[in-house]
Amino acid sequence: MDYEATITNIGHFGNYQKLVLCLLGFFFMASGIETLLNVFIIYVPEFSCVSNHTYGNITYNSTKDECYLYPNNGTGFNTTDRTEETIACKSWVYDKSDFTATAATDMNLVCGKADKIPFINMIFMAGMFTASFIFGLLSDWKGRKLTECIVLVIQILSLFPLYFVKTSEILIVLRFFGGMSSVGIFATAFVLALEIVPVAYQTIVGLYSQIMFSVGELVVVGVAYCTREWHLLCLVIAVFSFFLLFSIFGFDESPRWLISIGKQDKAEAILGKIAKRNKKEFYVMLTEKTCNKEAVAVNGSFRDLFKSRILLYRAFNVFFNWTAVNTVYYGLVFGSASLAGNLFVSTSLMAAVELASYVVLIFLLKKTGRKPLYSSSIILAGIACFTSGFVKIWAADMVWLSTLLLLVGKFAASAAFAIIYNYTTELFPTVIRNTILGLSSCFGRIGSMAAPYILVAGGQMKSKFGVGLPVIFFGIFSIIAGLLSLFLPETKGCSLPDTFEEGENIGRKVKHKVNGEDNQGMVSD
């Protein structure tokens, strides 16, 4: 089937597509909400050790050191040397101006237990890592709609119990499944959205998904601001996801996926429904006439990727770029709580610049190709982060400048994140598209799993370079990825490739005969 011709013939971007995209928008929001949720539930406010503890005949008092108590001998406190008389603090008082309670404050994840904070973030990303592989394969095997339903059930089952959680061990397990649901919801809905619109609308649809993702981030900031308590925050989000589950019945399976696995009749039934909703005529002869073309795509599989040197090299290049983008993006997300001093201001700023980057991309992608825009975005993110790191080291009093540079870095990293989603789906054929997207996300999660520990690694250094080292690393990583991305082909104006041959020919110069003479041109399907 000539799918592009068919989807254009039945209304290209009609009422059916608009309705489905509106519904999918809530799924993108759910992913954004889940992703930023960790920032609030394990937020650590200012705290101090509860003072005036008496052990035996000795009274201990806390000082500026929040984690230790020192003996009060009536002559003052020795806060420089921790002698054998110094004891670890076991109870704390937390600042409740932002949150009345978080998981970190309820479970005292500070001092000796502070290492659980990056671990929870890492486990969340490990869930994303697992889901990137599992749900990518499941979506290509069982379909987009069933996979979306399964993922949403997982999200609900990982959110509702958080209202009752009292221990960090259970919290860790639930956040793992929360991470799985976050990436699974977005990736599956993203592919489905692209596969129901013609190529001319794929860029705007891809950006729409990212815009709704950032709207979800702003929504969770608003809900957190209103609730100010982590149990209630999680319950409100769980209720939202529960009602979202019923909206799955509002859209159909991807006809493009059905065609790729040889279910021609079911695909034609859905295409007929789309035509009816768009008030267009669906011509069965068009599908019957071109069905032989799709038979080539049906015969392809993921194993064929290793038979194509071009696509294999391209895949590894994409995997590296996903790792870099995820490391920088999530590193800035996890560090957003302390960006501007106030929790809600800092998270709002980070979410706002992300939303702004997607809006700007709507206008730039119409005139600029994927390749130059992606490469420039990831390199700009690297330069901004790299510079911010040295500002933190050499000009610590210029907080406004380092903050501004990090916001620029988040702006550029968000743009790169949005582009690489579209870019990846356009670089590979239908039968492996969602699997490659899943594997790319899987590689990306390796970087995002490392991001929390990269952030805290700087604080473990006694050198003054420690404060700026994490973002300097983010900058170097981004610049290398940007340079490697220059070897990828341009996909602007190209149809989504269905076969491996079409995937290999994207951006390549091929010879063809015109009036008996050899001419060279760019393949764009």
SS3 track for 259-302 = HHCCCHHHHHHHHHHHHHHCCCCCCHHHHHHHHHHHHHHHCCCH
Residue/partner pairs of 149-152 with CB below 8 Å, 24 or more apart: 149/245, 149/248, 150/184, 151/180, 151/181, 151/184, 151/185, 151/188, 152/27, 152/30, 152/181, 152/185, 152/241, 152/244, 152/245, 152/248
Out of 59, 75, 94, a domain closes at: 94
Shared-domain flag, residues 79 and 147: no
In a domain, 297, yes or no: no
Q: Which of 2-6, 134-138, 217-221 has the highest mean pLDDT?
A: 217-221
Shared-domain flag, residues 179 and 325: no
How far apart, in whole angstroms, are the C-alpha atoms of residue 17 and residue 278? 9
In a domain, 481, yes or no: yes
Q: With a cut of 70, say whether residue 83 has pLDDT above it.
A: no
* Mean pLDDT across 363-373: 85
Supply the mean pLDDT for the chain: 81
Shared-domain flag, residues 311 and 246: no
Q: Which of 123-127, 274-278, 419-423, 430-434 has the highest mean pLDDT?
A: 123-127
In a domain, 52, yes or no: yes
- What's the pLDDT score for residue 53? 54
Tens of pLDDT, residues 173-210: 999 999 999 989 998 898 889 888 887 788 788 889 98
Shared-domain flag, residues 314 and 282: no
In a domain, 161, yes or no: yes
Shared-domain flag, residues 86 and 156: no
Q: With a cut of 90, say whether residue 492 has pLDDT above it.
A: no
Shared-domain flag, residues 39 and 51: no
Look at 157 and 131; give whichever has higher pLDDT: 157
Shared-domain flag, residues 256 and 113: yes
Q: With a cut of 60, say whether residue 82 has pLDDT above it.
A: no
Shared-domain flag, residues 37 and 56: no
> Per the structure, how many domains does the chain have?
3
In a domain, 510, yes or no: no
- What's the pLDDT score for residue 220? 95
Q: With a cut of 50, say whether residue 219 has pLDDT above it.
A: yes
Shared-domain flag, residues 108 and 80: no
In a domain, 386, yes or no: yes
**pLDDT-based confidence at 273, cuts 50/70/90?**
confident
- What's the pLDDT score for residue 284? 52
**pLDDT-based confidence at 339, cuts 50/70/90?**
low
In a domain, 517, yes or no: no
- What's the pLDDT score for residue 483? 94
Shared-domain flag, residues 281 and 326: no
* Mean pLDDT across 291-314: 64
Shared-domain flag, residues 335 and 454: yes
- What's the pLDDT score for residue 285? 38
Q: Model-level pTM?
A: 0.80
Shared-domain flag, residues 343 and 206: no
Q: With a cut of 90, say whether residue 384 has pLDDT above it.
A: yes
Instruction: Work out whether the CA dihedral 393, 394, 395, 401 comes out positive or negative.
Output: negative
* Mean pLDDT across 324-328: 93
Look at 289 and 475; give whichever has higher pLDDT: 475
Tens of pLDDT, residues 129-154: 888 778 878 888 888 888 999 999 99
Domain containing 243 equals 1-45+99-287
**Identity of the amino acid at 61:** N
> What percentage of residues in the chain have a pLDDT greater than 90?
32
The answer to whether 182 and 33 have CB atoms below 8 angstroms apart is: no
**pLDDT-based confidence at 421, cuts 50/70/90?**
confident
CA neighbor of 382 nearest in space, from 405, 358, 355: 405
* Mean pLDDT across 489-516: 67
In a domain, 506, yes or no: no
